[in-house]
């Protein structure tokens, strides 16, 4: 089974420092839906793994998150793709949970659910914590320069094995090769 793990905000959709709190605020990045469709067509199972601390902060609730994810899933399907599952951490940034990236708990849950070793599995993100979580489980960290990616690119703690692409579409094209 081919698996790819995608962060959500800043990779699939526009990010916001004020959080994406409603379906109306969820806006796909140019080319991201088509990139997910291509990954699906190339035999990848697409998994989203996302920190959603706005829930823990009381900025939105589970019904809002479910509505956002429903909109994303439908938009991807309209483009010809599929998101197989969505994993998320609802805890606030100051939480000591194991599921909040950069901790590896959420990605370990992906491995357990799909019964796979994540060694070498592409894990795309725009923030340092996405890439650190990927490296912690032996996945292949891939930085996209959308969202917070340009700022992350120059971070001294960037895992050295990180691959860098301008956006999800370019990373998907690489994965197809």
Tens digits of pLDDT across the chain (177 residues): 999 999 999 999 999 999 999 999 999 999 999 999 999 999 999 999 999 999 999 999 999 999 999 999 999 999 999 999 999 999 998 999 999 999 999 999 999 999 999 999 999 999 999 999 999 999 999 999 999 999 999 999 999 999 999 999 999 999 998
State the residue for tokens 């605020």. Answer: 25
| Active site residues per annotation | 7, 9
Domains of the chain: 2-122+133-146+159-176 (3.40.50.1000)
Q: How far is residue 165 CA from its own chain's centroid?
A: 15
Specify whether the backbone of 97 is left (phi greater than 0), alpha (psi in -120 to 50) or beta: beta
Name the pTM for this structure.
0.97
Among 163, 103, 89, 90, which Cα is nearest to 132's? 103
Q: How far apart are CA 138 and CA 64, in angstroms?
A: 33
- The answer to whether 21 touches 60, Cβ cutoff 8 Å, is yes
How many other C-beta atoms lie within 10 A of the C-beta of residue 92? Answer: 14
């Amino acid at each position: 089974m081919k698996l790819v793990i995608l962060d959500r905000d800043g990779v699939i959709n526009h990010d916001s420092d004020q959080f994406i709190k409603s379906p109306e605020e969820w806006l796909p990045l140019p080319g991201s839906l088509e990139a997910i469709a291509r990954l699906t067509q190339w035999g990848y199972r697409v998994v989203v793994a996302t920190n959603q601390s706005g829930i823990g902060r009381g900025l939105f609730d589970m019904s809002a998150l479910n509505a956002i994810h429903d909109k994303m899933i439908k938009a991807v399907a309209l483009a010809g793709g599929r998101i197989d599952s969505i994993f998320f951490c609802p805890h606030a940034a100051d939480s000591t949970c194991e599921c909040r990236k950069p901790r590896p708990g959420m990605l370990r849950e992906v491995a357990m659910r799909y019964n796979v070793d994540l060694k070498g599995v592409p894990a795309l993100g725009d923030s340092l914590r996405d890439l650190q979580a990927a490296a912690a489980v032996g996945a292949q960290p891939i930085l996209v320069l959308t969202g917070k990616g340009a700022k992350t690119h120059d971070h001294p703690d960037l895992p050295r094995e990180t691959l860098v692409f301008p956006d999800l579409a370019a990373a998907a094209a690489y994965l197809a090769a």
